[in-house]
Structure 1
Protein backbone atom coordinates (compact mmCIF):
# COMPACT_ATOMS: atom_id res chain seq x y z
CA UNK A 1 0.00 0.00 0.00
CA UNK A 2 2.80 2.40 0.85
CA UNK A 3 4.48 1.69 -2.50
CA UNK A 4 1.21 2.48 -4.29
CA UNK A 5 0.95 5.80 -2.45
CA UNK A 6 4.54 6.70 -3.36
CA UNK A 7 3.87 5.79 -7.00
CA UNK A 8 0.76 7.96 -7.12
CA UNK A 9 2.58 10.90 -5.54
CA UNK A 10 5.55 10.69 -7.93
CA UNK A 11 3.65 9.86 -11.13
CA UNK A 12 4.16 12.49 -13.80
CA UNK A 13 7.06 14.33 -12.13
CA UNK A 14 9.63 15.87 -14.44
CA UNK A 15 13.29 14.83 -14.35
CA UNK A 16 14.15 18.07 -12.54
CA UNK A 17 11.49 17.45 -9.87
CA UNK A 18 12.67 13.87 -9.36
CA UNK A 19 16.27 15.03 -8.97
CA UNK A 20 15.31 17.84 -6.56
CA UNK A 21 13.37 15.32 -4.44
CA UNK A 22 16.38 13.00 -4.21
CA UNK A 23 14.94 10.28 -6.45
CA UNK A 24 17.70 10.44 -9.10
CA UNK A 25 19.69 7.33 -8.02
CA UNK A 26 16.46 5.41 -7.44
CA UNK A 27 15.05 6.44 -10.83
CA UNK A 28 18.20 5.29 -12.67
CA UNK A 29 17.77 1.77 -11.24
CA UNK A 30 13.98 1.35 -11.29
CA UNK A 31 12.46 4.16 -13.44
CA UNK A 32 8.80 4.40 -12.43
CA UNK A 33 8.68 1.00 -10.76
CA UNK A 34 8.27 0.86 -7.00
CA UNK A 35 11.06 -0.82 -5.05
CA UNK A 36 10.30 -1.02 -1.31
CA UNK A 37 13.30 -0.37 0.89
CA UNK A 38 14.08 0.47 4.49
CA UNK A 39 14.71 4.06 5.57
CA UNK A 40 18.46 3.38 5.41
CA UNK A 41 18.19 2.41 1.74
CA UNK A 42 18.49 -1.34 2.38
CA UNK A 43 15.95 -3.20 0.20
CA UNK A 44 13.71 -5.84 1.65
CA UNK A 45 14.67 -9.40 0.69
CA UNK A 46 15.62 -8.59 -2.89
CA UNK A 47 15.85 -12.29 -3.79
CA UNK A 48 12.06 -12.40 -3.82
CA UNK A 49 11.09 -9.72 -6.33
CA UNK A 50 12.27 -7.07 -8.78
CA UNK A 51 10.93 -3.90 -10.34
CA UNK A 52 12.29 -2.29 -13.50
CA UNK A 53 9.47 0.15 -14.20
CA UNK A 54 8.33 -1.57 -17.39
CA UNK A 55 5.01 -3.40 -16.98
CA UNK A 56 5.85 -6.24 -19.39
CA UNK A 57 9.32 -6.78 -17.94
CA UNK A 58 7.95 -6.79 -14.39
CA UNK A 59 5.15 -9.21 -15.35
CA UNK A 60 7.58 -11.54 -17.15
CA UNK A 61 9.92 -11.55 -14.14
CA UNK A 62 7.04 -12.20 -11.71
CA UNK A 63 5.77 -15.10 -13.81
CA UNK A 64 9.27 -16.57 -14.08
CA UNK A 65 9.74 -16.30 -10.31
CA UNK A 66 6.51 -18.21 -9.75
CA UNK A 67 7.52 -20.89 -12.22
CA UNK A 68 4.78 -20.05 -14.71
CA UNK A 69 5.21 -21.23 -18.27
CA UNK A 70 6.19 -18.18 -20.27
Structure 2
Protein backbone atom coordinates (compact mmCIF):
# COMPACT_ATOMS: atom_id res chain seq x y z
CA UNK A 1 0.00 0.00 0.00
CA UNK A 2 1.38 3.40 -0.96
CA UNK A 3 1.84 6.04 1.71
CA UNK A 4 -0.12 9.21 1.23
CA UNK A 5 1.47 12.61 1.49
CA UNK A 6 0.22 16.14 1.34
CA UNK A 7 1.81 19.49 0.79
CA UNK A 8 0.67 23.06 1.07
CA UNK A 9 1.51 25.99 -1.12
CA UNK A 10 1.86 29.37 0.52
CA UNK A 11 0.32 32.08 -1.63
CA UNK A 12 0.79 34.90 0.84
CA UNK A 13 2.30 37.67 -1.34
CA UNK A 14 4.31 39.15 1.51
CA UNK A 15 6.16 35.88 2.00
CA UNK A 16 6.55 35.06 -1.68
CA UNK A 17 8.40 38.34 -2.29
CA UNK A 18 11.24 37.19 -0.07
CA UNK A 19 12.15 34.51 -2.61
CA UNK A 20 12.05 36.58 -5.80
CA UNK A 21 15.21 36.44 -7.85
CA UNK A 22 15.93 40.16 -7.56
CA UNK A 23 16.49 39.63 -3.82
CA UNK A 24 19.26 37.14 -4.54
CA UNK A 25 22.66 38.74 -5.10
CA UNK A 26 23.88 37.67 -8.51
CA UNK A 27 26.13 38.95 -11.21
CA UNK A 28 24.21 40.71 -14.00
CA UNK A 29 26.95 40.15 -16.58
CA UNK A 30 30.33 38.42 -16.46
CA UNK A 31 32.17 41.06 -18.50
CA UNK A 32 34.29 43.26 -16.22
CA UNK A 33 34.40 46.93 -17.19
CA UNK A 34 37.79 48.19 -18.33
CA UNK A 35 38.99 51.25 -20.24
CA UNK A 36 39.13 49.22 -23.44
CA UNK A 37 35.73 47.46 -23.40
CA UNK A 38 33.14 50.10 -22.48
CA UNK A 39 31.33 49.80 -25.84
CA UNK A 40 30.75 46.06 -25.34
CA UNK A 41 30.16 46.29 -21.59
CA UNK A 42 27.52 49.05 -21.74
CA UNK A 43 24.93 47.26 -23.94
CA UNK A 44 25.44 44.02 -22.01
CA UNK A 45 24.85 45.79 -18.68
CA UNK A 46 21.85 47.68 -20.07
CA UNK A 47 20.25 44.43 -21.27
CA UNK A 48 20.93 42.77 -17.91
CA UNK A 49 19.31 45.62 -15.98
CA UNK A 50 16.39 45.90 -18.42
CA UNK A 51 15.88 42.13 -18.25
CA UNK A 52 15.30 42.46 -14.52
CA UNK A 53 12.80 45.28 -15.10
CA UNK A 54 14.94 47.86 -13.34
CA UNK A 55 15.81 50.26 -16.16
CA UNK A 56 13.22 52.81 -14.97
CA UNK A 57 15.19 53.23 -11.72
CA UNK A 58 18.39 53.90 -13.69
CA UNK A 59 16.96 56.40 -16.17
CA UNK A 60 14.93 58.21 -13.48
CA UNK A 61 11.46 57.53 -14.91
CA UNK A 62 10.55 55.56 -11.76
CA UNK A 63 11.26 57.10 -8.33
CA UNK A 64 13.37 55.37 -5.73
CA UNK A 65 11.32 52.86 -3.69
CA UNK A 66 10.49 53.84 -0.11
CA UNK A 67 12.92 52.60 2.50
CA UNK A 68 11.45 49.88 4.69
CA UNK A 69 13.96 50.11 7.53
CA UNK A 70 16.37 52.59 9.04
CA UNK A 71 19.33 50.21 8.89
Structure-2-length-normalised TM-score = 0.27
Structure-1-length-normalised TM-score = 0.27
Work out which structure has the larger RCO, using CA pairs closer than 8 Å and 6 or more positions apart in sequence.
Answer: 1
The structure with more helix, counted as a fraction of residues = 1
